[in-house]
Amino acid sequence: MMKKGHLFWATLFLLLVAFCGLSLAGEFTQEDRERLIRLEATLQTFMKQVDKRFEQIDRRIDRRN
C-alpha cells in the first residue's frame, strides 16, 4: 500500500514529467494548459479519496485496539 507521502511525490513527479514532455515538444498551447488543469483537478480528487480511505482504515484499526 502506498503511503500518503509517497503518493504526493509520485503525483508531483508525474506532473513534472508531463510538463517537461510538453515543454520539449515545442509550443505550450492553451489546450495543453487546460489539459494539465483537468489532470490536476482529477489528481486532487483522487488524493482526497485516498486520504478519506486512509482515515477509514485508521478508524477501523483504532476500534480493534
- Kindly report, residue by residue over 4-59, the tens digit of the pLDDT: 667 777 877 877 777 776 666 667 788 888 988 998 899 899 889 989 999 999 99
**C-alpha to C-alpha distance for 4 and 57, rounded to whole angstroms:** 13
Give how many domains the chain has, as a whole number.
1
Q: Which residues contact 19 (CB under 8 A, 6 or more apart)?
A: 36
Give me the domain span that covers residue 26: 4-64
- What was the pLDDT predicted at 34? 92
- What was the pLDDT predicted at 58? 92
Asked whether 19 and 40 are in contact (CB, 8 A), the reply is: no
- What was the pLDDT predicted at 1? 47
- What was the pLDDT predicted at 26? 67
- What was the pLDDT predicted at 52? 93
**C-alpha to C-alpha distance for 51 and 53, rounded to whole angstroms:** 5
